[in-house]
Amino acid sequence: MVKYMNNNAYYYILKNVCCNIFICSAILIFSLLVGGCEEKKTGKKENVQNVIIFEVHAETAPISVELSGRVSAFKKAEVRPQVGGILQQQLFTEGSRVTAGQSLYKIDPVAYAAEVQSAKAALERVNAVFTQASLRLERRRSLLGSHAVSKQELEDAEAEYCKAKADVEVCKAALVTAEIRLRYTDVLAPITGRIGKSHMTQGALVTANQEEPLAVIQQLDPVYVDMTRSSLDLLKLRDRFVSGRLRRGNDKRQVRLLMDDDRPYSHEGTLQFADVSVDESTGMILLRAVFPNPEGVLLPGLYVRAIVQEGMADNVLLLPQKAVSYTARGQASVWVVDERNTVRRRQVRTAELVGTRIVIREGLKEGERVVLGSSRRLNDGDVVRPAAEISEKTQTQE
């Protein structure tokens, strides 16, 4: 009897446990199903992102190219002595502005002054000989009619006269040369500009036309900016003009500069010329522009970036640069938004920069909308909510 009662108790307990397990499992499954349905219902709502939309429109825009360049002096002169001697004085301050004809150095002039005196004495001597020869010739000409002198004696007198006259000219030239050499002891500035450091000090021995200059003078207002461009790019540019895709603008010769820190230079320059030959080793062509430099900001050797306007293009599509993303291989793409506000990634072909915008050559049509700003969380087929419709005019003003 006791055994029977124990079996019934066990059976009753086991039955209650199984019922409780079944009820808990059912509740758990029901909760999961309800939660999954709610997540499925609300998932679409959570995936909707607020994005800024930009609508693409065609417009006329100036097309420019950015080229690297170096600043060089408009004029540069190396000051070298034209006579040898000891430097007695330095008559300028290093780094100052000097004018053409200003005295820079003084070379010991004693030896050259003596040469001038010697040349003057030699000239006086030959002048006396010339006077004597001239008088002798006149006398013999007067006596020739009376047969007091022979014709041979007259010819000898004429020869002496010509020789004495030539000696006078030689001594005059020697005197001029001596005076020029004396003047060269005063070393003058050949151009107006800013002079650098002096390579020679007082008391140094210099020689005529020595290899090392005494100093260097550079004219820094205006200055040159020398740029290089591929000859292939110039051929492509010519083809664009021929095909009509690009036309010349009014200020096609104007050039703008960007400094190392991306700060624009305050003055515009003018494109002077393109070299007529191509560098055989690099295939590049030299372009040169002239820039005013009244503040002295541009210094020779400074690296700059030049913005050269190539021409005007009609009916071009422009996008802000932040709307375009690039792969590791440099392939450009944008997120295009359709009429249902669904985004799709599309590859595009970009071209030149126009200010803060970039030209889209292929991949977009006028009137299409693209996503601006960061789009790392977007996937193909996502639905977005336009946070703002930005017109091209508004973006241009920004």
Choose the final residue of a domain: 181, 202, 218: 218
Handedness of CA 31, 37, 43, 46 (dihedral sign): negative
Measured over all CA atoms, what is the biggest interatomic distance in the chain, rounded to whole angstroms? 197
In a domain, 38, yes or no: no
Domain housing 341: 55-71+219-397
The pLDDT score that the predictor gives to residue 303 is: 92
- Same structural domain for residues 62 and 161? no
Predicted pLDDT of residue 40:
44
* HSE-CB of 292 using CA atoms within 13 angstroms: 6
Query: Has residue 86 been placed in a domain?
Result: yes
| Residue 186: burial class (beta carbons within 10 Å; 0-12, 13-18, 19+) | middle
User: Do 352 and 224 share a structural domain?
Assistant: yes
Task: State whether residue 43 is helix, strand or coil.
Answer: helix
Specify the pLDDT at position 152. Answer: 83
* Lookup: tokens for 209: 């036309």
Residues 211 and 283 in one domain: no
Domain boundary (160, 183, 218) is at: 218
Radius of gyration, CA atoms only, the chain = 46
- From 218, 245, 273, the end of a domain falls on 218
Same domain, 116 and 253: no
What per-residue confidence (pLDDT) applies to 12?
Answer: 53
Q: How far apart are CA 164 and CA 150, in angstroms?
A: 22
Give the pLDDT score at 39: 43
Count of domains observed in the chain: 2
Q: Quick one: pLDDT at residue 142? A: 80
Residues 156 and 235 in one domain: no
In this predicted structure, what is the pLDDT of residue 104?
95
- 244 shares a domain with 198: no
The CATH number of residue 265's host domain is 2.40.30.170
CA atoms within 13 A on the CB side of 377: 10
Residues of the chain falling short of pLDDT 70: 1-47, 145, 249-252, 374-376, 388-398
